[in-house]
């Protein structure tokens, strides 16, 4: 209990004295350890002003950061990330001077796969030497399992979330300047994780990997590079890169403002491109994440997600193949496509004017929702628990039951 009262005073110091009743009750609830579901708390659904919502968001985000900071810092310093029963060793290097807004972060996946641990260890140690950004924290994780799909599995996203949060805490990484790349089996991982976790990345680069039929619809709002040796014919990797590059070309034309990309098939090269692909580091560094894009394209894959940018759904609706496409302009949201029976739209003061009604319409103009919405602590907590990302905090949710 002493720990919680100590943290209560930390919260007071962070936010200043707060007299607003819902925020004061939130502070007390957090100081008591957040006992019981927030939905059952009297303050949870009380309307908040913008100032109160900002204070509540800072309280809740600081609370969760404080709870996990010691463990994450320990994992980072010892270079050993843990999730459930699995372990993911990491190596990292820090390059250049730290920019004013925080360092960049590059997560770089090694090759190998369904082979011996010794081979994968060698690929991992090679990966830490393979690329060198001018600025940033460059991390090479060692896959937690030795399998052909070692970067496809559900635990990978959990580990990468931990790496991002640990790097933010310990190295002052800018959450809007996080990049993913990988070679060979690591390139397979980029094909999967670039779309699956697109709301985390500013840009991604796939080197010498195979897509395995994955959809790239979700990469609309990030930069994506494809690098392949023109003679890398094993498993038709070169043909798949050409096919996916052509698809990205067509999507960039059809969806203006989306699908920024480049495709490079290096002539005369096979699976090893003699480091021509290192140009990807400088290309990716041009991109900064937009966590609140005006259009979100979200398609579930074999590892379901309940939240993506400012969209969310229930666990039962997060099923492989379900998709939604939603655009926003001011206080109007247009649902262009939707397979979810329950679709939630998260909003905050960067996105809408809370003094005016919010309207949600279908592609054919049918009004699905029209009303003012209110900021609540329950919405703030929901968004923080979903992503632990201070740039993806939403103070209200619009629930559509379609």
Distance from C-alpha of 273 to C-alpha of 207, rounded to nearest angstrom: 9
- pLDDT value, residue 20: 57
pLDDT of 34 above 80 = no
pLDDT, average across residues 26-44: 82
Query: What digits encode the pLDDT tens for the residues 168-217?
Result: 999 999 999 999 999 999 999 999 999 999 999 999 999 999 999 999 99
- Read off the tokens for 130: 């393979």
Residue whose token pair is 């369904």:
114
Q: What is the per-residue pLDDT for 213?
A: 96
pLDDT at res. 3: 41
Q: What is the reported pLDDT for 142?
A: 98
Rounded Cα gap, residues 326 and 92, in angstroms: 38
So where are the chain's domains? 2-57, 79-284, 295-401
| Higher per-residue pLDDT: 23 or 191 | 191
The verdict on domain 79-284 having CATH code 3.40.50.1820 is yes
12 pLDDT higher than 90: no
Q: Are 227 and 273 within 8 A, CB to CB? A: yes
Over range 287-304, report the average pLDDT.
97
User: Rg of the chain's alpha carbons, rounded to an integer?
Assistant: 22
What is d(CA 185, CA 149) in angstroms, rounded to the nearest whole number?
Answer: 8
Residue 222 and residue 191: Cα distance in Å, rounded?
Answer: 13
pLDDT of residue 28: 86
- 77-90 burial, b at 16+ Cβ within 10 Å, e below that, comes to eeeebebeeeebeb
pLDDT, tens digit (0-9, with 9 covering 90-100), for 351-371: 999 999 999 999 999 999 999
| 313 vs 298: CA distance, rounded Å | 11
- Tens of pLDDT along 91-130? 999 999 999 999 999 999 999 999 999 999 999 999 999 9
* Cα(110)–Cα(124) distance, integer angstroms: 5
Confidence of residue 43 (pLDDT cuts 50, 70, 90): confident
For residue 169, give every residue at least 6 positions away whose Cβ sits within 8 Å of its Cβ, in sequence order, or none: 65, 69, 72, 73, 76
Q: What confidence score (pLDDT) does residue 11 get?
A: 43
pTM of the model: 0.93
Per-residue pLDDT, 88: 98
User: Is 48's pLDDT higher than 60?
Assistant: yes
Beta bridge partners of 347: 396
As a whole number of angstroms, the distance between CA 71 and CA 25 comes to 28
Compute the distance between CA of residue 161 and CA of residue 167 in angstroms, rounded to an integer. Answer: 10
pLDDT of residue 41: 84
- pLDDT at 240 exceeding the cut of 60: yes
State residue 402's pLDDT score. 85
- The per-residue pLDDT for 167 is 98
* Average pLDDT of the residues of the chain: 93
Which pLDDT belongs to residue 383?
A: 96
Average pLDDT over residues 1-23: 46
pLDDT at 9 over 80: no
The pLDDT tens digits of the residues spanning 254-283 come to 999 999 999 999 999 999 999 999 999 999
Q: Is the pLDDT of residue 303 over 50?
A: yes
Average of pLDDT values for 314-335? 97
């Amino acid at each position: 209990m002493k720990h919680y009262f100590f943290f209560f005073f930390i919260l007071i110091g962070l936010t200043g004295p707060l007299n607003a009743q819902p925020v004061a009750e939130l502070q007390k609830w957090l100081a008591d350890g957040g006992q019981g579901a927030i939905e059952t708390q009297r303050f949870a659904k009380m309307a908040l002003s913008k100032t109160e919502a900002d204070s509540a968001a800072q309280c809740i985000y600081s609370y969760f950061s404080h709870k996990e900071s010691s463990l994450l810092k320990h994992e980072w310093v010892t270079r050993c990330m843990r999730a459930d029963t699995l372990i993911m060793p990491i190596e990292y290097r820090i390059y250049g001077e730290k920019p004013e807004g925080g360092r960049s972060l590059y997560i770089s996946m090694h090759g190998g796969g369904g082979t011996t641990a010794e081979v994968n260890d060698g690929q991992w140690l090679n990966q830490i030497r393979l690329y060198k950004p001018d600025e940033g924290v460059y991390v090479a994780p060692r896959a937690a399992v030795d399998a052909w799909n070692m970067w496809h599995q559900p635990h990978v996203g959990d580990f990468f979330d931990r790496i991002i949060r640990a790097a933010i805490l310990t190295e002052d990484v800018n959450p809007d300047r996080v990049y993913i790349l990988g070679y060979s089996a690591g390139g397979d991982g980029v094909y999967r994780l670039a779309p699956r976790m697109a709301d985390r990345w500013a840009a991604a680069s796939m080197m010498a990997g195979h897509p395995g039929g994955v959809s790239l619809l979700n990469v609309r709002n990030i930069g994506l590079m494809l690098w392949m040796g023109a003679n890398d014919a094993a498993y038709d990797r070169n043909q798949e890169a050409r096919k996916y590059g052509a698809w990205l070309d067509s999507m960039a034309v059809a969806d203006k403002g989306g699908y920024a990309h480049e495709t490079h098939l290096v002539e005369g090269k096979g699976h090893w491109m003699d480091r021509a692909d290192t140009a990807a580091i400088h290309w990716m560094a041009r991109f900064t994440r937009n966590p609140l894009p005006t259009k979100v394209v979200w398609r579930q894959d074999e590892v379901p997600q309940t939240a993506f940018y400012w969209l969310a759904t229930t666990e039962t609706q997060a099923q492989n193949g379900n998709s939604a496409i939603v655009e926003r302009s001011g206080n109007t949201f247009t649902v262009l496509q939707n397979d979810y029976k329950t679709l939630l739209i998260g909003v905050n003061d960067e996105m809408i004017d809370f003094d005016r009604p919010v309207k949600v319409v279908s592609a054919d103009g049918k009004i699905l929702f029209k009303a003012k919405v209110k900021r609540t602590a329950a919405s703030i907590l929901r968004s923080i628990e979903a992503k632990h990302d201070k740039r993806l905090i939403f103070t209200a949710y619009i629930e559509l039951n379609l």
